[in-house]
Amino acid sequence: MPQDPRSALLSAATTPQTWDILVIGGGASGLGTAVEAATRGHRTLLLEGHDYAKGTSSRSTKLVHGGVRYLAQGNVSLVREALRERGLLRKNAPHLVHDLGFLVPAYDWWAGPFYGIGLKLYDLLAGKLNLGSSKYLDKTEALARTSTLKPDGLRGGILYFDGQFDDARLAITLLRTFEDHGGVALNYAPVVGLIMEEGKVVGARFRDAETGHEHEVRARAVVNATGVWVDDIRRMEKPDVEPMLSPSQGVHVVVDRHFLPGDNAIMIPRTDDGRVLFAVPWHGSVVIGTTDTPVPQASFEPRPLEEEIAFILSTAGRYLSPAPTKSDVRSVYVGLRPLVKSEQTDGAGSTASLSRDHIIRISDGGLITLTGGKWTTYRRMGEDTINRAEPLAGLAQRLTVTPGLHLHGWSEEPRDDHWRVYGSDAAQVQSLPGAGTPLHPDLPYTEAELRWGVRFEGARTVEDLLARRTRALLLNARASSEAAPRAAAILAEELGRNAAWAELQTQSYQDLARGYQLPS
């Protein structure tokens, strides 16, 4: 039986020393910051309270994009920065990011010229890192690319290009990249308090969720990168601190690929709530979303509202034939956006206009809080944060190397199967027991991938394996629930746990998966 890798990580995390950088949070912003720090040669520890990308960072629309909607809002600087980062990520992780054509269908006479001009500006802002030039398609060309578009009244469309990725797999890739450069990361290690000396934050206390034991770690700089939960960490320093965030939730539904055959996504540029709606081919299925609904507080398992599901399906139904219905939904998932409050807002009302830019705020005690932003700009967020942390902590100020850093598993080998996300690690994954044994007939994964997730990617629960190391939960919640007993048996075998533990894992996962299925 393989040795449980967690004991060595826990020992490394708690060895008496003062870290250069302590990062709290293992989502996009925390992992990006940790990679930035480690690649500059700073001794870096990352603590994640649950699993890597457990929250928003595994629940995106699966796009690496500049943000067409932000261009319409006039936020040119955000779009330019995001387009540059899109191009860098495409070069640094070609096994995870690929180009995707997006069709904007035009049913009004003015739509083609109007959106065509905007998307030409989008191309221009991308500069040398542009993925492809947008162009006008007539009705015949549009239907040839997306045969399920409703033909009645269709005048044509605009084709433009953006990037697509697997968000949770990028998170795990960043984790492996961080470790490749000497960083230490520990999941299931929630921070329960900050260590203060003479009014300054000098470290944190965390609890090992698997044993209940608490540990103290010290660092020259502490970065709070916990996404929608940053205010919880800020209150550990100052209980009455004014909240920074006004979170909103975005719902996505996943349906069968026959609703969107071909190689293109579609983008509906204006919906009833003022957002854009995407229908995106992803891992043999189609992701449709999203919504923008203010929520009073953050939850680790946010749930969709009935009206959000109805909005997505009814909007998609105006453009697609056949129209997807509730009975076609294989999975529904919800992500929370860490939207930064403006000076004028009290958090009420619409969140559609709140800032998508990232913000770095340093408290009187020196706690560095990074929040806002989006997956596409994770690298820039990390760079900006470490640029602020170095002088604050008295660390050597070094130039970033991440704009040209090949991420773990970097490979340009053209693959269209699900092994692509492992990049250059694919052959090693396929060498493990169970590489030829499907996990479930309705899922693309094999048993070997679960073993790999436990041995090399920090997976500790069935949920980690089926929601984030593989994407079974999002692709088909029912099938993933049926696969849970086998996943639990493999996990128990890898970690040396007994059958009773495996049964508890199975039950816990199946309870969770029910929340991703719509009632029949």
pLDDT of 343 over the 70 cut = no
What CATH code would you report for 6-56+169-242+341-404? 3.50.50.60
pLDDT of residue 164: 96
Q: Which contacts of 467-471 are long-range, i.e. CB under 8 A and separated by 24 or more positions? A: 467/58, 467/168, 468/51, 468/52, 468/53, 468/54, 468/58, 468/168, 468/171, 468/172, 469/168, 469/172, 470/439, 470/443, 470/445, 471/166, 471/168, 471/169, 471/283
Q: Where are the beta strands (DSSP E) in 80-213?
A: 98-106, 135-138, 156-164, 184-186, 191-197, 200-207
Longest Cα–Cα distance of the chain, Å, equals 71
The single-letter DSSP state of residue 340 is B
Please name which of 48, 337, 335 lies closest in space to residue 175, comparing C-alpha atoms: 48
Q: Where are the beta strands (DSSP E) in 355-430?
A: 358-362, 368-372
> Is the alpha carbon torsion for 499, 50, 181, 404 positive or negative?
positive
pLDDT of residue 352: 44
* 31-45, 76-90, 112-126: segment of lowest average pLDDT: 112-126
Q: Tell me what the mean pLDDT of segment 258-278 comes to.
A: 88
Angle between helices 28-39 and 167-180 (to 10 degrees): 20
Q: Tell me what the mean pLDDT of segment 342-350 comes to.
A: 44
Domains 6-56+169-242+341-404 and 418-514 share a fold: no
Tell me which fold the domain 65-165+246-337 belongs to: D-Amino Acid Oxidase; Chain A, domain 2 (3.30.9)
> Is the alpha carbon torsion for 13, 14, 18, 21 positive or negative?
positive
- Measured CA to CA, the distance from residue 82 to residue 76 in angstroms comes to 10
Q: How many CB atoms lie within 10 A of CB 401?
A: 14
pLDDT in tens, 232-267: 999 999 999 999 998 899 999 999 999 999 899 999
Q: How many CB atoms lie within 10 A of CB 440?
A: 19
CB 173 within 8 A of CB 409: yes
Cis peptide before 322 (omega within 30 of 0): yes
- Ramachandran region of residue 261, left (φ > 0), alpha (ψ -120 to 50) or beta? beta
- Measured CA to CA, the distance from residue 183 to residue 411 in angstroms comes to 22
Tell me which fold the domain 418-514 belongs to: Helicase, Ruva Protein; domain 3 (1.10.8)
- Measured CA to CA, the distance from residue 185 to residue 6 in angstroms comes to 10
pLDDT in tens, 196-234: 999 999 999 999 999 999 999 999 999 999 999 999 999
Q: How many CB atoms lie within 10 A of CB 309?
A: 17
Query: What are the residue ranges spanned by the domains of the chain?
Result: 6-56+169-242+341-404, 65-165+246-337, 418-514
Please name which of 285, 14, 23, 325 lies closest in space to residue 178, comparing C-alpha atoms: 23
Q: Tell me what the mean pLDDT of segment 48-63 comes to.
A: 97
pLDDT of 420 over the 70 cut = yes
pLDDT of 342 over the 80 cut = no
> Is the alpha carbon torsion for 364, 369, 373, 377 positive or negative?
positive
pLDDT in tens, 84-116: 999 999 999 999 999 999 999 999 877 777 788
CB 291 within 8 A of CB 273: yes
pLDDT of residue 189: 98
Q: Is pLDDT larger for residue 385 or for residue 373?
A: 385
Q: Tell me what the mean pLDDT of segment 460-466 comes to.
A: 98
Q: What is the pTM of this model?
A: 0.95
Helix (H) or strand (E) holding 248: strand 248-256
Average pLDDT, the chain: 93
CB 357 within 8 A of CB 377: no
pLDDT of residue 353: 41
Q: Tell me what the mean pLDDT of segment 18-40 comes to.
A: 98
Helix (H) or strand (E) holding 21: strand 18-24
